[in-house]
Amino acid sequence: MLAFILLASRLGRPLAGSDVAKCTRYDMAELAFEPDQYLGWHTKDHRLYLFAWQAYTEQGQIGSHWHVTHNDLVLFSGMPIPYDAPLAPGVGWAEQLADRIAASDANTVANQLGGAFTLLSLQRDGDGVVTSDLAGGAPLYWDASQEMLVISNRANLVASVWEQPGAPPVRDWRGPASPIFAQEIFGAETGLKDVVAAEPGAWWSVGYQKRPVLRTRSVEQTRPETSEAAIDTIEHSLRRSLRSIAALPYQQHRLALDGGKASRLLLALLAAEGLLSRVALTATGDPDEPGVQIAAELADRVGHPLLLERARSTIRVNSNSRSSTRSRQAESGVHGRSPAGLDRPIWSVSNPMPLDCSSRPLGI
């Protein structure tokens, strides 16, 4: 999990010390998690500052969300998923992304990644890039005054820069109903005054002795000639995504079955790709719920056990015998939903870890 704030001067002079000081707190109250590590970084001319906080980097052998050398910095948030070659276990994800960027550039690397993520490539005395996935799954939030541009992967952190430390950010008329921490996207508005989400494909060119410039990028698309060709293209893309996710260095992957068409399709593709040995099948609810019963039957069809998750217990379901065995989380080592009760994605990844760690949502 990572949060960052980037400050960039728009006047060709160093940033004011008072603006920088607002972001130099390890325990910022505006953070939605308790950080394990803090990073502060700036260019030689003090016109560009980056502050970042991270936690839970042991998950998936992430290692660190940033990689810093004498002159370069690479930082990511979310879940970048390489399509061409899987991430190597035992090496930090940011370090591997830095190697890819060194061989090309940040936007080229971003175009070769799946998943939802933001990606920063900065230099102390050179050009830099602040970008994200083309689909806008992990948006960049920003606001600007005449003197300074503020960019972050969290809307409330952008708003916090304009306020006194600890003061609540100013909401606009959408604020009372805007799910800021849920990071749901409804257009560019965020519910915070003047803070907007960048359009998918938008990125910033920043750097040493350089004013920030907002640019856009896109990938050339080809329209399939027939509906059958379109279906084949979609299936190929889904299969590639599943193979790439399964190759991530996590100890366990999880597919949440809800009886719907989407989870059925993913289950069928996993079976066709021979990836079920890497996946735990789960469902959430009571055994007598229709969706759970359908999930149990689907699991039986592929010969895989189903773990039924509740807030405080896990049940292993076998629809043929119509029997279930309850086991406590602490005893079974299989953990339930997050304390906040947030809905999980259909496909997710996790490590067997102590209860208080694995029950937290991944940083995406």
Q: Could you tell me the CATH number of the domain that includes residue 195? A: 3.60.20.10
Do residues 346 and 202 share a domain? no
Greater model confidence, 272 or 183: 272
Amino acid 167: pLDDT: 66
| 172, 195, 216 - which closes a domain | 216
In a domain, 25, yes or no: yes
Do residues 69 and 12 share a domain? yes
Do residues 28 and 135 share a domain? yes
Do residues 289 and 340 share a domain? yes
Amino acid 40: pLDDT: 94
Do residues 63 and 211 share a domain? yes
In tens, the pLDDT along 204-240 reads 999 888 899 999 988 777 788 888 988 998 899 899 9
Do residues 274 and 295 share a domain? yes
In a domain, 363, yes or no: no
pLDDT band at residue 300 using 50, 70 and 90 as cut-offs? very high
Helix, strand or coil, per DSSP, at residue 294: helix
Residue 181 has pLDDT above 80, yes or no: no
Residue 324 has pLDDT above 60, yes or no: no
What domain range includes position 246?
227-358
| 174, 195, 216 - which closes a domain | 216
Picking from 96-100, 106-110, 228-232, 356-360, which range would have the lowest pLDDT averaged per residue? 356-360
Q: pTM for this one?
A: 0.77
Nearest residue to 107 via CA among 15, 10, 205: 205
Do residues 23 and 120 share a domain? yes
In a domain, 269, yes or no: yes
Task: Pick the most confident of 24-38, 178-192, 292-306.
Answer: 292-306
Greater model confidence, 258 or 319: 258
Domain count, the chain: 2
In tens, the pLDDT along 252-264 reads 889 999 888 999 9
In terms of phi and psi (left: phi > 0; alpha: psi -120 to 50; beta: otherwise), the region of 106 is alpha
* Cα dihedral sign, 170-173-174-176: positive
DSSP 225: S
Do residues 207 and 287 share a domain? no
Do residues 27 and 164 share a domain? yes
Instruction: Give percent of the chain with pLDDT exceeding 70.
Output: 79
| Cβ(134)–Cβ(110) below 8 Å | yes
- What average pLDDT does this structure show over 90-99? 94
Do residues 209 and 291 share a domain? no
Greater model confidence, 348 or 229: 229
